[in-house]
Structure 1
């Protein structure tokens, strides 16, 4: 009987050894599958990260282009503002010259005494000169308004340029 019990024990231990080996083999196979999955997922994440870095780089370049365009626009608006100031000053000078038209009108009134046929034409000119003077005053006011608005636009573009620079500042850290 001792021999039978030994055989039973040997069979049980042999079966345990085989089951343990099968379990270890299966476990090793699962580890390999898990490692392969980890490598594939890591590669996918790396590829996605590369595209994201590229898109951030493109966005950074776009912001730099926007900032450069805003700088250029600001410079051009400063020039336009200076030109509008010059035009406004010239319109004021022109309005001053139009004031002399009143003196011409008065002198024409004295000529009507000596030249009766010219009187009707001079009255028409007088009305036209008055209208011209009114129009020039309106144009001068309009030019002052345009000059003011161009100054406001230059200020707004300056604020937009600064805001865009602040948005693009973190992107400048990217290569």
Structure 2
């Protein structure tokens, strides 16, 4: 029989149909693999998001603890400043009392004319008292300097506390969104 033109057409259409079906099967397999990869990546992203929320919450709690410690430190430094002021006043009082020791050394010199042995001992004491007087003056100045520096530290701690609160405030707002 001679080649029927319809038969060639039917074979061509059948061949195209088989090729199309093979192509569709291969595409379906590739789509299945792609969907599986997308699902795995989505699950990993969800797990990562849960960990990130947890770490943000831990960071917020840590920053809150730091702010509370800074508040406590500010309070304690304020008390130290008050105590240093009291100590400086007491040292000033001692310094004022030591200034009267010069008068005592003068009277002791007068007594040394009648009592030479007591006079020698008292003159040594007068020298020591003058040294103590000088040392107390230096100590008074040092304590006032310490008091000023403690005041500066208290101010700086207050600024740090405020800055940490400003950092922690956005974290606190995020707590209402996350568990």
TM-score by length of 1: 0.92
Mark the runs of 5 or more structure 1 residues left unpaired by the alignment: none
Secondary structure at 2:154's aligned position in 1?
helix
The answer for the alignment partner of 1:158 in structure 2 is: 158
The answer for the alignment partner of 1:83 in structure 2 is: 83
The answer for the alignment partner of 2:14 in structure 1 is: 14
Matched, 1:109 2:90: no
Secondary structure at 1:32's aligned position in 2?
helix
Find the aligned partners of 1:174 and 1:63 in 2 and give their Cα distance. 13
Find the aligned partners of 2:72 and 2:117 in 1 and give their Cα distance. 61
Secondary structure at 2:4's aligned position in 1?
helix
Secondary structure at 2:13's aligned position in 1?
helix
RMSD: 1.7
Matched, 1:66 2:103: no
Point out 4+ residue stretches in structure 1 off by more than 3 angstroms: none
- Write out aligned runs for 1:17-166 (5 A): 17-166=17-166
With a CA cutoff of 8 Å and minimum separation of 6, indicate the structure with the bigger relative contact order.
1
8 Å CA contact retained: 2:77, 2:154: yes
8 Å CA contact retained: 2:92, 2:140: yes
1:85 Cα deviation from its structure 2 partner: 0.6
Please say which of residues 3-12 and 36-45 is displaced more in the overlay.
3-12
TM-score by length of 2: 0.90
1:120 Cα deviation from its structure 2 partner: 0.7
8 Å CA contact retained: 2:108, 2:123: no
